[in-house]
Amino acid sequence: MYLPGVGPKKAEILGKEIEVFTWEDLLYYFPYKYIDRSKIFKIREIDGNMPFIQLRGRIAGYALQGEGSARRLTAAFYDDTGTIELVWFRMRRQIPELYKQDTEYILFGKPTVFGHRISVAHPELETESKFYDGEVGVQGQYNTTEKMKNAFLHSRAIQKIITQILGNIKRTLSETLPDAVIQHNRLISIDEALRNIHFPKTPDLLRKSQFRLKFEELFYLQLNILQVTKYREKRLGGLKFPRVGDYFNDFYHRNLPFELTNAQKRVVKEIRRDTNSGKQMNRLLQGDVGSGKTLVALLSVLLALDNGFQGAIMAPTEILAVQHYETISELLSGLNVEVALLTGSTPKSRRKGMLPRIKSGEIQLLIGTHALIEDVVEFGNLGLVVVDEQHRFGVVQRAKLWKKNTIAPHVLVMTATPIPRTLAMTVYGDLDVSVIDELPPGRKPVKTLHRYIKKKETLYHSVRKQLQEGRQVYIVYPLIEESEKMDLQNLQEGFETTRQIFPEYNVSMVHGKMKTAEKEAEMQKFVSGETQIMVATTVIEVGVNVPNASVMIIENAERFGLSQLHQLRGRVGRGADQSFCILLTRYELSETTRRRLAIMTETNDGFLIAEEDLKLRGPGDIDGIQQSGIAFHLKIADLSRDGQIVTIARDSAQEILADDPLLEKPQHQILKQQLAKLNQRRQAGWFMIS
Ligand code: ADP
Ligand code: MG
């Protein structure tokens, strides 16, 4: 279909910028918000907190101001109650041609207030007659990029093109869901939904359109995930671990230094059930920092050993792999289990000697980093792979594990980044989820305090007290990629200052740019207590365990995300003593930052924090989703708010697949077609999980 007002150049920009290639794509380019176009404000009424608003007035004159990148075109815009300033940084030459002086315009934009001056940057201006062309009332606003705006494809232009498209389509748009699904969930038709999402006739119809389109998006996502899961179950089959033998029992009764928590027991049972079901296990184990996941991993490995299989534990970093190796070797002492460590820095000669022993099955448990899923590493009979702190591992690597044995080994993925239920269902819909929702007994919750940098002096006093009692201290600095150099400098300065303030103590420093061996050695000094203060970047974020550390100071805490702060905090509070986490910030903070810090001081509950994080940041930013290998492109559903729709959509998809797993029934052909279409869509990267 010919798109009115869209020449080849604009078409190219639409494709490149927002992946809109056809008129249909554009119909699925939904407004990101709606504005009441029926109200026009007076300049006198404007204050600093207004969203996008409309004014009616005239331009009194233009002026060029500023130099270099601050060069801008300004105009005075007035109505009968006052004057404001309009500002353009782009298209400075064209604007005065486009918008004449002393012509009445309807202005649309977001006012900003500086002292007594009010200005609107890059406003949209329309003459009244043109403006009332379209429908007045609630109007959609479309996201546009810089390049789009430069090509005059601003929100209003998009809206006009969509008006034309919908005007040209006289027939009803064909349905995209089976009748039964529509009836059962009381959805409005796709035709009504698409027309009203762009041009809502009433607020009620807008709500119904949003519901219908969100449902549809989540429904197909779920249908796809569930189908892939079924396919995988059928294709892969599973190894069976029927025996609980000597390895497991001896360890459990002789070596285990403490009683398992009820949550640990429950999860071990779940894993036993899975590994004996004849299906391949793909389980996600979520447990807050310090909840004792390592032990669950080890018990699962022993189960594999009891059934004649090998086990592997994979960690995201060298430090963690080594720590696992050491902890586990010690836990297993006297049990005659052959454990080996394989990482990127294992010397070639050592590795060479190990490979045949892995292949023969002599090495029963291999612990390591990514190095252990390299193709050269062949196992004799790998039965279980544990992936620790999974947000550093992707779906792609997971699939690679499946090929490590003729029958795919069971996979247990562990994470301390709690994933809110709705997100887990959507992103990890193919994984079963276990949760350790209980900390080992005797732990005191970490006390978290927010302090301003100015008050640092008093803080050092309390820190010294902890040190005098024999405790250890972490001081963490942020690291942001773009200004790595500055951050390192910052860290270095922090290191020097710390040494000056605490001359009687030994200070370690660790950062990501250090050589692994060096980093390791420094870390080891802190673990052994040789150094009492650890100045570091977030490299210590994941998994490191020093129970004697009782204070964590986070510098520039405003630069960390919620989940990250929580992860860091998890490094303390691992022993029996009261621990503290101090969030240091400057005084001026944004509203959301204050909220983040308040949440941290109020709760230690990782799940609550994850939910809040999702609300504050939106799912695109959640740790790990991006690294997880699944691009996330929900067009309308919002996982932080639409949890209920996720559930309904999943139920609906499940019901259909239970009744017709291969979608063969005539009434389900539409589902097959839609899935195929969605899988083809270039932008729908998330449909390609397998
Ligand atoms: P995470 O879940 O963060 O990986 P770890 O497995 O490192 O936690 O466990 C944290 C600490 O708790 C370890 O020192 C471990 O020995 C201890 N621990 C684990 N389970 C128990 C338990 N049931 N009772 C007491 N301490 C436990
Ligand atoms: Mg751990």
Question: What is the average pLDDT across 415-438?
Answer: 74
**Rounded CA gap, 676 and 690, in Å?**
15
Q: What is the atom index within ligand 1 of the atom nearest the CA of 547?
A: 14
Q: What is the pairing mode between strands 105-109 and 111-114?
A: unpaired
Q: Do 345 and 514 touch, CB atoms closer than 8 A?
A: no
Pocket test for ligand 1, best of 295, 437, 544 (most atoms within 8 A of CB): 295
The atom of ligand 1 lying closest to the CA of 545 is 7
User: Around Cβ 332, how many Cβ atoms within 10 Å?
Assistant: 21
Best residue among 294, 317, 391, 574 to mutate for probing ligand 1's pocket (most ligand atoms within 8 Å of CB) is 294
Backbone angles phi, psi at 408, to 5 degrees: -55, 135
Q: 10 Å Cβ neighbour count for 569?
A: 24
Query: CA 117 to CA 85: how far, in whole Å?
Result: 8
Percent of the chain scored above 90 by pLDDT?
Answer: 45
pLDDT digits (tens, 9 = 90+) for 4-36: 678 888 889 998 888 888 888 899 999 988 877
Cα–ligand 1 centroid distance for 300 (angstroms): 15
Q: Is 575 a residue whose pLDDT tops 60?
A: yes
Predicted local distance difference test score (pLDDT) of residue 292: 92
* CA 629–ligand 1 middle distance (angstroms): 30
Residues 91/75, Cβ–Cβ less than 8 Å: no
Which residue owns the Cα nearest ligand 1 atom 9? Answer: 292
Q: How sure is the predictor about 1, in pLDDT bands with cuts at 50, 70 and 90?
A: low
Which residue ranges have their beta carbon within 6 Å of ligand 1?
Answer: 258, 260-261, 264, 287, 289-295, 416, 440, 545, 574
pLDDT the model gives residue 688: 30
pLDDT at 79 over 90: yes
Rg over CA atoms, the chain = 30
State residue 398's pLDDT score. 64
What is the mean predicted confidence (pLDDT) over 562-579? 86
Instruction: Tell me the average pLDDT of the chain.
Output: 85
3-state secondary structure of 660: coil
Which of 2.120.10.90, 3.40.50.740, 1.10.10.410, 2.40.50.140 would CATH assign to domain 8-168?
A: 2.40.50.140
- CATH topology agreement for domains 246-436 and 447-603: yes
CATH number of 246-436: 3.40.50.300
Closest ligand (CA of 570) = 1
507 CB burial (10 A radius; 0-12, 13-18, 19+): buried
Distance from the CA of 430 to the center of ligand 1, in angstroms?
Answer: 28
Which CATH fold would you assign to the domain 447-603? Answer: Rossmann fold (3.40.50)
C-alpha triplet 92, 93, 98: angle, nearest 5°: 95
Mean pLDDT of 205-230: 89
Q: How confident is the model at residue 168 (pLDDT cuts 50, 70, 90)?
A: confident
pTM above 0.85, yes or no: no
Index of the ligand 1 atom closest to the CA of residue 296? 6
Measured from the alpha carbon of residue 545, the closest ligand is: 1
| φ/ψ (deg, to 5) at 61 | 175, 160
Ligand 1 midpoint to CA 601 (Å): 24
Q: Give the pLDDT confidence score for residue 624 in this predicted structure.
A: 38
pLDDT in tens, 112-167: 877 778 889 888 888 875 554 445 577 888 988 888 888 888 888 999 899 989 98
Domain boundaries, the chain: 8-168, 246-436, 447-603
Per cent of the chain over pLDDT 70 is 88
Nearest to 428 by CA among 635, 608, 686: 686
**Chain segment 85-96, per-residue pLDDT in tens:** 999 988 888 899
Q: Report how far apart, in Å, the C-alpha atoms of 557 and of each of 365, 476, 550, 562, 585 are.
A: 39, 9, 18, 10, 6
> Which ranges of 63-133 does DSSP label H, i.e. alpha helix?
95-98, 128-131
Task: State which ligand 1 atom lies nearest to the alpha carbon of 570.
Answer: 3
Q: Which two tokens stand for residue 512?
A: 């990501």
CA of 620 to the centre of ligand 1 (A): 31
Q: How far apart are the C-alpha atoms of 333 and 382, rounded to whole Å?
A: 22
